[in-house]
Chains A and B, each alone.
Chain A
């Protein structure tokens, strides 16, 4: 303990002794340096001397900096509130201290990283239990050294003075077992946490403890050196706006004339760590790439909701982002739908596969081929839990809310079930929700009904007589390919080019009957993995396990129905230019005879 104490005093003493020197200077200057990635490198690295008065505060210094840098891009891009003056606080001791304390730590590291990494590890109060160890002793630290009470920036002291120092050094000894990246990462996290950290000098957090540690004066030079680690390894300490500049210089550099250009105060153009100015996010938004989180959006379906939202916006929720989703006229679907939390079979797998579900980003909402249902789930339980598309709403949605309140998109559903009981249940459900439907008892009938046209969704039992659900799905997909329904597939395009060469009549009609492929939802036995795989391979988009849970059925109908309605909407827009007479309602069932005519014509060259 005694040797450690010796080390600390050797660190801190020079600055404390210089504290009284050069107090009566007439012309006061302070070195500052702009810290912004948007400047030319030479400019950013260059320290500038700013003159200031004895009574100037840090805020006044900002004005002077702006005066100095006026007509530069930096000055145009920043304002008084957006910048913060401070230092990069490495919170670290001199290297010598480390080497004496933990030679084994040093040996285990490459010489380049030696200086920075261990220091971060030791000195940053990482937001873990070690942070607690570091903070608490500060309060109890030696009262005779008055600056030490404000010296929260250097947990170094804690590992020396506190009774918890044993733990602190244990932490250090453990550190070599970490990967070299780990301390870096911890340090980065730390700097991102910014103002919440005990190390922060943010005035709001610190109260009286606004002064920089004298220890920092000796280390800030290190922070400014170009061979330092990226700044994320250290963190910003922002000076209190009403702190006197002269006091800052005294504290940091031991006097008003002792500061060297290398010790320049840094002017941070992104003062996010300053809670005082946390409301001026505009400057931040300009500089940071906007990460749009879909979860921040809420969907608005009609003018009434839009009005409601704009009203509520006036009051408080100015941070709400807005997006307007255009939906077809007469669209009555449930618009909870295209949600970032949507899980489809593939993401269901992900949840218990390697990827995890922690970050429902925009990416996961994008509909890729796999998500349409080419990847089977392997676990019926996971499927059962994850299959309804709104994972978060799963608990909240009750049977009542589904069966009574839900409004469904106007779609046509084909129920393919050989068992009259099941068919009665499904039909009754659809009838109750005023969803138009047809029924088929076997696979052949299913294909026939589909050929009549107008179907958006097929609920297909797999164990069908005559033609199984699998084969029926395959058949439908084959026919779609022949007719050129759906455009994702290159093959279908070439197919339809060929057929249109053979039959010129097909092409003009296709523009208004071409729509998305029908969605086939297989009804599979609850524990049959092979059924699901087979179904998805056969071209089904999705599956429901039997016995069909009506909540899920409702969700599937909404999910796929809305998707179909939206896809249809595009067709409707395009089709409207060419064919003004038809397609006023997107979901209007098309003339079935017309379609089957077309189908027959187009299939004739194939056969």
Chain B
């Protein structure tokens, strides 16, 4: 299963604007949501890191990837979501190997580590872009 191409833009504004449009009713709704998300993402990154360093259960890593992927995608942070999808699929051994290949967990763990690094990079990029958007340091 070939991974789909990574999105060009850090943020999918079509998606995020939908949420921003809800600010009309409750001011700062989207901003608070974004702040909440950054907390959640940072926490999840830590959990993934801990899992990699610790027991390294692929199932758990996949679950964490899936979790963060959901909220990232919901906010339109599509490159983070992409990286999380890779982590999820690697954790399920659905990609990162050829058909029928039986690879040790460490192989997938290594790939997850790469993607975690990538996700963190994207996280910083998204944070910068959103800070500019809300004109305040998030």
Measuring CB to CB, which residues of chain A are less than 8 angstroms from any residue of chain B? 399-400, 403, 417-422, 424-425, 428-429, 432, 461, 463, 465, 525-527, 546-551
Closest to A403 in B: B21
CA–CA, A461 and B63, complex, Å: 13
Q: Do residues A421 and B36 form an inter-chain contact, with CB atoms below 8 A?
A: yes
CA–CA, A427 and B59, complex, Å: 29
- Shortest CB distance B66–A (Å): 5
Q: Do residues A463 and B22 form an inter-chain contact, with CB atoms below 8 A?
A: no
Specify which chain A residues have a CB less than 8 angstroms from the CB of B66 in the assembled complex: 463, 525
Q: Name the one of B18, B26, B67 contacting A419, with C-beta atoms under 8 angstroms.
A: B67
Q: Do residues B76 and A547 form an inter-chain contact, with CB atoms below 8 A?
A: yes
Q: Name the one of B18, B33, B70 contacting A463, with C-beta atoms under 8 angstroms.
A: B70
CA–CA, A418 and B76, complex, Å: 18
Q: Do residues A547 and B67 form an inter-chain contact, with CB atoms below 8 A?
A: no
CA–CA, A28 and B37, complex, Å: 96
Q: Do residues B71 and A419 form an inter-chain contact, with CB atoms below 8 A?
A: yes
Closest to B81 in A: A547
Specify which chain A residues have a CB less than 8 angstroms from the CB of B21 in the assembled complex: 399-400, 403
Closest to A463 in B: B66
CA–CA, A424 and B17, complex, Å: 15
- Shortest CB distance B4–A (Å): 6
Measuring CB to CB, which residues of chain B are less than 8 angstroms from any residue of chain A? 4, 15, 17-19, 21-22, 25-26, 29, 33, 36-37, 40, 63, 66-67, 69-71, 73-76, 81, 85
Q: Do residues A399 and B22 form an inter-chain contact, with CB atoms below 8 A?
A: no
Q: Do residues B25 and A432 form an inter-chain contact, with CB atoms below 8 A?
A: yes
CA–CA, A429 and B22, complex, Å: 7
- Shortest CB distance A360–B (Å): 28
CA–CA, A546 and B85, complex, Å: 12
- Shortest CB distance B125–A (Å): 18
CA–CA, A422 and B67, complex, Å: 10
Q: Name the one of B17, B36, B40, B70 contacting A461, with C-beta atoms under 8 angstroms.
A: B70
CA–CA, A421 and B21, complex, Å: 16
Decide yes or no: A421 and B75 within 8 Å by CB, A399-B21, A428-B29, A547-B15 being known contacts: yes
Decide yes or no: A548 and B74 within 8 Å by CB, A419-B67, A424-B36, A425-B19 being known contacts: yes
Best-buried of A419, A420, A546 by chain B (most CB within 10 Å): A419
- Shortest CB distance A178–B (Å): 45
CA–CA, A418 and B71, complex, Å: 10
- Shortest CB distance A333–B (Å): 21
9 residue pairs, one from A and one from B, having the closest CB atoms = A421-B71, A547-B73, A547-B74, A419-B70, A550-B18, A463-B66, A419-B71, A422-B74, A432-B25
Q: Do residues B33 and A424 form an inter-chain contact, with CB atoms below 8 A?
A: yes
Specify which chain A residues have a CB less than 8 angstroms from the CB of B37 in the assembled complex: 421
Best-buried of B69, B70, B73 by chain A (most CB within 10 Å): B70
A sample of 5 cross-chain residue pairs with beta-carbon separation below 8 angstroms, ordered by A number, consists of A419-B40, A421-B40, A425-B74, A428-B22, A432-B25
- Shortest CB distance A102–B (Å): 57
- Shortest CB distance B62–A (Å): 9
Q: Do residues B74 and A546 form an inter-chain contact, with CB atoms below 8 A?
A: yes
Specify which chain B residues have a CB less than 8 angstroms from the CB of A428 in the assembled complex: 22, 26, 29
Closest to B14 in A: A549
Specify which chain A residues have a CB less than 8 angstroms from the CB of B74 in the assembled complex: 419, 421-422, 425, 546-548
CA–CA, A432 and B81, complex, Å: 27
- Shortest CB distance A159–B (Å): 58
Best-buried of A422, A425, A547 by chain B (most CB within 10 Å): A547
- Shortest CB distance A79–B (Å): 61
- Shortest CB distance A470–B (Å): 14
Q: Do residues B19 and A422 form an inter-chain contact, with CB atoms below 8 A?
A: no
Decide yes or no: A527 and B4 within 8 Å by CB, A421-B71, A547-B73 being known contacts: yes
Q: Name the one of B4, B25, B67 contacting A418, with C-beta atoms under 8 angstroms.
A: B67
Decide yes or no: A425 and B33 within 8 Å by CB, A419-B71, A432-B25 being known contacts: yes
Q: Do residues A399 and B18 form an inter-chain contact, with CB atoms below 8 A?
A: yes
Closest to A545 in B: B73
Q: Name the one of A400, A421, A461 contacting B33, with C-beta atoms under 8 angstroms.
A: A421
- Shortest CB distance B27–A (Å): 12
Q: Do residues A422 and B70 form an inter-chain contact, with CB atoms below 8 A?
A: yes
Excluding A428-B26, A546-B70, 6 further A-B contacts by CB distance (< 8 Å) are A420-B71, A421-B74, A422-B74, A428-B29, A463-B63, A546-B74
CA–CA, A331 and B16, complex, Å: 32
- Shortest CB distance A113–B (Å): 55
- Shortest CB distance A426–B (Å): 9
CA–CA, A527 and B40, complex, Å: 24
Specify which chain A residues have a CB less than 8 angstroms from the CB of B71 in the assembled complex: 419-422
- Shortest CB distance A93–B (Å): 64
Best-buried of A424, A465, A526, A549 by chain B (most CB within 10 Å): A424
